[in-house]
Amino acid sequence: MMNSIVKIEHLSHKYSAAWAIRDINMEFSQTGIVGLLGSNGAGKSTTMNILCGTLNQTEGQVYINGFNMREQPQLAKREVGFLPQQAPLHLELTVDEYLTYCANLRQVPKDKVQKALAEVKERCSITHFSKRLLRNLSGGYRQRVGIAQAIIHRPRLVVLDEPTNGLDPNQIIEVRALIKEIAKDCLVIFSSHILTEVQLLCKDIRMIEGGKIVFADTMDAFNNYVEPRSVVIHLENAPAEAALHQVAGVTRVEFLTEKLLRVHFDCDQEIAERLTAAAVHNGWRLREINFDKTALDTIFKQLSIKSSQS
């Protein structure tokens, strides 16, 4: 029988007298990308640190590819790659020097280090920077090197903490594509505060709030909580607020600019069609309409309340 890539049983941890996480349970047997969500102080970082073996838990067990992290730490850690929010780069080293150092730390056999370097540099598109000092790389390429060190030993689990944080839009797209490529061969646990990043990348979601799991399901199920509550519309010939209130379902109107408006509604899914029809009929010259989504902190609150009531 194949081992689960990750299995967490009744995981709890406390700092002094306060519990940071309580009775966390997870199990993943397949490759792909799992989103780990949680607001600040929810217990997300504590869970990731225990999962990667950088923190010993107070209670519970963690298994990585069948190895118990507490009882077999060396074997378990060989199966884990970790990129923390601040990539652990030595800026005075070149890309080759740094990745060689990381390969040795990860106990890659010496006769296989050069092959591992070549493969990971090719995969992360950093081969042409092999002799470049890390301090002279852009933020996007530093992040690629950070991902390279996390996968150089071919782990079964890769944990990425806010890997797109601080990158420009083009860099985010490139790193996103790289993460999808990596997830073909291993399980990636992707932590982010940016809901759109999680939605674009992940097939499953685990949300921690108040130290407990408050959501554990697929992205499709999670999206049921992300309901449209308003639309942002661009009208070249915007009417007075009262005219928009005549459209069935509209509850409130905000003028963001002279031509850009946020229209709140009562979850009637035909609101876009009604606003479009009204704009055509009244000559408002509609240029664009986009749905706003429920804010992530609101979803946290909804799920936390639901969890406490269950």
Task: Give the pLDDT score at 229.
Answer: 72
Task: Give the pLDDT score at 306.
Answer: 65
What residues of the chain score a pLDDT lower than 50? none
| 271-280 CB burial, b ≥16 within 10 A, e <16 | bbeebeebbe
CA 89 to mean position of chain CA atoms: 21
Q: Report the C-alpha gap between 198 and 70 in whole angstroms.
A: 30
Domain annotation for the chain: domains and CATH numbers: 6-224 (3.40.50.300), 227-293 (3.30.70.100)
Task: Give the pLDDT score at 197.
Answer: 81
| 245-263 CB burial, b ≥16 within 10 A, e <16 | eebeebeebeeeeeeebbb
Cα–Cα distances (Å) from 22 to 7, 34, 99, 104, 211, in that order, read 16, 20, 37, 36, 6
pTM above 0.95, yes or no: no
Q: Report the C-alpha gap between 94 and 307 in whole angstroms.
A: 49
Task: Give the pLDDT score at 46.
Answer: 94
For residue 145, count CB atoms less than 10 angstroms from its CB and return exposed for 0-12, middle for 13-18, buried for 19 or more.
buried
Structure tokens at 240: 């007075």
Task: Give the pLDDT score at 144.
Answer: 94
Q: Report the C-alpha gap between 230 and 291 in whole angstroms.
A: 6
Task: Give the pLDDT score at 309.
Answer: 61
Structure tokens at 131: 């002799």
In degrees, rounded to 5, the angle at the alpha carbon of residue 171 between the alpha carbons of residues 165 and 177 is: 95
Cβ-contact 91, 32 below 8 angstroms:
no
pLDDT (tens digit per residue) in 129-146: 999 999 999 989 999 999
Task: Give the pLDDT score at 234.
Answer: 94
Task: Give the pLDDT score at 38.
Answer: 83
